[in-house]
Amino acid sequence: MKIRNHHYRTIWRDAQSVCIIDQTKLPFAFEVERLHTHTQMCEAIRSMQVRGAPLIGAAAAYGMVLGCQHNADDQTLQSVASQLIATRPTAVNLAWAVQRMLQQLLSIAVAERAQAAWVFAQAIADEDVAQNQAIGQHGQELIAAVATANPEQVINILTHCNAGWLATVDGGTALAPIYAAHDAGLRVHVWVDETRPRNQGASLTAWELAQHAVPHTVITDNAGGHLMQHGQVDMVIVGADRVTKSGDVCNKIGTYLKALAAYDHQIPFYVAVPTPTIDWQLTDGTDIEIEMRDADEVAYMQGQDEDGQVRRVRVIPNESQALNPAFDVTPARLVTGIITERGVFPPEQLKSLETSL
C-alpha cells in the first residue's frame, strides 16, 4: 500500500533483519521496527505488533529464518518452530507457514538452510500478495454486480475488525475487493466496526482506508444491526482466521453477531480468505481453539488526548472482572460465499477446492 507516496509491504527483509510496521502504534504513529531474532518475532506476534492471519503466517515464516541464521540443525529448527506456533493458536496460517518452512528446511543440507530460509519465507510473502490481488478481483465482481443493479447508489459495505492491507503482506483480504472497486471508480462506502476490545477497525481499517481515500464511517460494534434494519448495508465482507472445509468461519469476536443480523435481513455476508486460511483437517468450527487474551485488553483502552499524547485509561471498575475471547465462529449456514484467490464459493462447495490445490 502507498503511505505518504511510498509503497510498503507490512513485512520485509532488510539485510539480515526483518522489518515490520508496529501496528500497536497506529493510527497515531507510523513506526517501523527492525527484528533480529526469532524471539523478537515471537513477541511481535504475541503482542500484536503484527497481526492478521496471513501476516502472522508470513511473520512466523520470517521468524523461522531469523531462528536458523546462527544454528540451523534439526533440533534448533524444531525448537524455533514450536516457539512460533505457541504465540497465537487460532489463525491456521501461522502453523501452516511454520510447518511449510520446517518441511522445506529439513529437506536440505544444514549448511544451506540459513540462506535458503530467506528464499522460502519470501515465497510465502509473495504468494500472499498474489492471492490477495486475485481475491480483490473476484470480490470486486460481486460489488460491481450490486452497482449495476443500482447505478446511482453508493454501495454500503460493512466490515469487522481489520482484514485489510495491515492484516496481510499486501493488499488485504476483505478490503481487497473494496480497494479494487474504489480504484475501478465504483461508488463504495465502508461502515467500519470499531471492533472492541483492541479496536482493529477504528485504529487500523479506518487508518488504511483513509490512506487510500476510500469513503468510510467508523461505527460502534453495536450499530451494525440497526444500519441493516434501515437498509443502510448492501453487503458484509469480513476476513477470517480459520475456515473449516464445511465453511464454518472463525474470525474476530463479534463477527457471528453481524452474520446473524445480515441473515435476518437477507444481506449478503461474504468471507474473503486466501486458501492457506482454510483448515482441511476440520469440519466443525466449534472445534477451533479460541484464543483467550488478557482481560486488561477489555479493562483498558488506548487513545490520544487533546495534547497529542497517547494514553491508556481504565474503562471498567477496579472491582470488576473482564473476559476476552478474541474470536468467534460463524456457522456456514450464515455465510453467502467465500471469496478466495480461486474464485467465490458457497460454503457447501468449498470442499471441491481441496483437490485442486
Ligand X SMILES: CSC[C@H]1O[C@H](OP(=O)(O)O)[C@H](O)[C@@H]1O
Whole-number Å distance between alpha carbons of 140 and 150: 15
**Contact between 241 and ligand X per CB under 6 A:** yes
Residue given cell 529464518 in the structure block: 65
53 labelled ligand-binding: yes
Choose the binding region for ligand X from 71-79, 140-148, 163-171, 218-226 (rule: CB under 6 A): 163-171
For 221-244, b/e burial (b = at least 16 CB within 10 A) is bebbbebbeeebbbbbbbbbbbbb
200 labelled ligand-binding: yes
**Contact between 178 and ligand X per CB under 6 A:** no
Choose the binding region for ligand X from 62-70, 143-151, 235-243, 282-290 (rule: CB under 6 A): 235-243
Q: Read off the C-alpha cell for 290.
A: 479460541
Q: Which is nearer to ligand X, 251 or 336 (CB)?
A: 251
**Contact between 142 and ligand X per CB under 6 A:** no
Q: Which is nearer to ligand X, 132 or 156 (CB)?
A: 132
Per-residue interface string for the shown chain with ligand X, residues 49-88, x marking contact by CB under 6 A: --xxxx----------------------------------
**Contact between 173 and ligand X per CB under 6 A:** yes
Single-letter amino acid code for the residue at 109: A
Of the candidates 261, 213, 217, which has an alpha carbon nearest to the alpha carbon of residue 235?
Answer: 261
**Contact between 161 and ligand X per CB under 6 A:** yes
Is 234 an annotated catalytic residue? no
Give the H or E element holding residue 272. Answer: strand 269-272
25 labelled ligand-binding: no
**Contact between 239 and ligand X per CB under 6 A:** yes
| One-letter-per-residue 3-state SS of 163-231 | CCHHHCCCCCCCCHHHHHHHHCCCCEEEEEECCCCCCHHHHHHHHHHHHCCCCEEEECCCCHHHHHHCC
β-strands 343-345, 337-340 pairing: antiparallel
Binding-site residues for substrate sit at: 51-53, 88, 200, 251-252
Positions in the binding site for ligand X (CB under 6 A): 51-54, 161, 163, 167-168, 173, 200, 238-241, 251-252, 326
Binding-site residues sit at: 51-53, 88, 200, 251-252
